[in-house]
Each structure stands twice: as C-alpha cells, then as structure tokens.
Amino acid sequence: MLHAMVDTVYTAMEKVGGQKVEVVLSETGWPWGGGPAVATVEYAKIHNNNAVRLAANPNGTPKRPGKGLETYLFAMFNENLKNEGIEQHYGLYYPDMNEVYHVDFP
C-alpha cells in the first residue's frame, strides 16, 4: 500500500511537470492507541516495518525503480507529557526506553 501511495505522488508530480522532484516520506507513522479502533499495536507495527523496509530497499518503487526513498518516522518515543489522546501513542518506545513493538531496522 505504501508503494502505491508514493507512486501516486510521483504520477501526480509528473502530470504537472515535476519529473525531477524528489519525494521524501516525512513524519510517517501509525498510532498504536488513544484513538479509533484502527489505532492498534499490530497496525502500527505493520506500517512502520513497511516504511523502514521501503526506505532500506535500494530497488525503489514500481514507478521509480532503483530510486531509494528518504524516510522519517513520526516519533521514536511516546510523548507522555502531551494531553491524553492519539498524539501520545505514535512512539516505537515508551519513555522508559522499553519497546512498544519491534521494528526491524537494517
């Protein structure tokens, strides 16, 4: 799904003359709690592992093969000082440095 989303941006940029514009996947993430039913550890783990795998893959996407994708995750740590809600639950780690879930960084 993430490949398709990135390739959609590439296609849109090409249609307006932006063939040479670099796409950066910035502040990507998935909440693991504090919000709607889809804010689960399972979905957050899947999303962030897919983002890391895409970033580490030098093969690129189907639209731009051979072109890596610069990627930034939204939060390494949960933000326990924010008001209760979804924003507190994007981190890969709790403030005490324990993992919320594992991400396979290369």
Model confidence pLDDT, tens digit, residues 45-96: 999 999 999 899 888 889 999 888 899 999 999 998 888 899 899 999 999 9
pLDDT in the model for residue 68: 85
Whole-number average pLDDT of the chain: 92
- pTM of this prediction? 0.84
Using pLDDT thresholds of 50, 70 and 90, give the confidence band for residue 31. very high
Q: At what angle do helices 2-15 and 41-56 cross, to 10 degrees?
A: 60
1 has a pLDDT exceeding 80: no
7 has a pLDDT exceeding 90: yes
2 has a pLDDT exceeding 90: no
27 is catalytic: yes
Of the candidates 14, 22, 27, 42, the residue annotated as catalytic is 27
User: If you compute the radius of gyration of the chain from its CA atoms, what whole number of angstroms results?
Assistant: 15
